[in-house]
Amino acid sequence: MAALVLIAAPGAHSWSKEGHIITCRIAQSLLDEGPAEIVRNLLPDYAGGDLSSLCVWPDQIRHWYKYRWTSPLHFIDTPDKACAFDYSRDCHDPEGTEDMCVAGAVGNFTAQLLHYHHGTSDRRYNLTEALLFLSHFMGDIHQPMHVGFTTDEGGNTIQVRWFRHKSNLHHVWDREIILTALADYYEKDMDLLLQDLQNNLTTGIWADDISSWEECEDPSSCSSRYAVESINLACKWGYNGVTQGETLADEYFDSRMSIVMKRIAQGGVRLAMILNRVFAVHKNHHIPPPT
Ligand SMILES: [Zn+2]
């Protein structure tokens, strides 16, 4: 396997590195031949052709001066208790700049990648970075608590205990549930978890769902649907009944683990769908129409 260049990702604001890695591994395994080659070509040499090795990169650089503008792109703040996402109302940064949210970022970086087939004459876009941002943000937009309420910062200010240690509700969904699942069911081995999800996709419980997950007339606008799914899940399963200072343990874990796993798989399937379409080798260099 390729050498990983990961450093510890700041934990509080994203699917954990595990969530992003699994999302990207699923996606890369589902790429068609042509798009797979384009992805390998866009990756820097040190990634060894492994997209997942750089899928947490946007979390690592978001506080660097040069990339500070990307910080609002990891999430969406929606009105408290509304349990709804409205792109024109909600997709902006704290200053109100439009499109500066994870749904806008997915659309924007998808559109940038379409320039790949327009050759290298347009150098406004760094397509390697666009690939890494898109791959990361497709993970984030599927993490339900990344489309959360404004006042509690997507659950970040809701302090809870996860079993016996301190955490917060956002982090429970970013990472705690995944780590507990790895420890309880997969011998702490991400490859075993990945294998399980891939079996669910090929022959198991999700095999019949993939085509509906992939439905998308226009890849640059489907992100709103993913955000709506996330806020609905955040309301129904994330926030529901959780109070400040509460201890979350077996009951919460047992009823939420399958949701987390499904969202990771959906993110991977849909990332592959988008990459297969934007990188499709197609004679008129446009996105092929939906079939
Ligand atoms: Zn993120």
* Cα 138 to ligand 1 centroid, rounded to whole Å: 9
Mean predicted confidence (pLDDT) in 149-168: 98
Best CA proximity match to 116, nearest among 94, 137, 98, 131: 131
* Cα 157 to ligand 1 centroid, rounded to whole Å: 17
Predicted confidence (pLDDT) at residue 7 exceeds the cutoff of 60: no
pLDDT band of residue 282 (cuts 50, 70, 90) is low
**Between 125 and 278, the higher pLDDT residue:** 278
Structure tokens at 160: 């809870």
From CA 263, how far away is CA 272, in angstroms rounded? 14
pLDDT in tens, 215-234: 999 876 799 999 999 999 99
**Between 240 and 2, the higher pLDDT residue:** 240
3-class SS letters over 80-128: CCCCCCCHHHHCECCCCCECCCHHHHHHHHHHHHHHHHHCCCCCCCCHH
Residues whose Cβ atom is located within 5 A of ion ligand 1: 14, 59, 74, 140
Predicted confidence (pLDDT) at residue 10 exceeds the cutoff of 60: no
- pLDDT in the model for residue 115: 87
- pLDDT in the model for residue 13: 58
Question: For residue 166, which phi and psi values (nearest 5 degrees)?
Answer: -75, 140
**Between 90 and 283, the higher pLDDT residue:** 90
Predicted confidence (pLDDT) at residue 38 exceeds the cutoff of 70: yes
- pLDDT in the model for residue 286: 54
pLDDT in tens, 94-126: 999 999 999 999 999 999 998 888 765 556 689
Domains in the chain: boundaries: 11-278
Question: Are the CB atoms for 132 and 57 separated by under 8 Å?
Answer: yes
- pLDDT in the model for residue 222: 94
CA distances from 31 to 91, 130, 186 (A): 29, 17, 26
- pLDDT in the model for residue 273: 97
Predicted confidence (pLDDT) at residue 56 exceeds the cutoff of 60: yes
Predicted confidence (pLDDT) at residue 12 exceeds the cutoff of 60: no
CATH topology of domain 11-278: P1 Nuclease (1.10.575)
* Cα 171 to ligand 1 centroid, rounded to whole Å: 12
* Cα 52 to ligand 1 centroid, rounded to whole Å: 14
- pLDDT in the model for residue 256: 98
* Cα 24 to ligand 1 centroid, rounded to whole Å: 13
From CA 263, how far away is CA 284, in angstroms rounded? 33
* Cα 15 to ligand 1 centroid, rounded to whole Å: 6
- Contacts with 17 (C-beta within 8 Å, 6 or more apart), sequence order: 6, 9, 56, 59
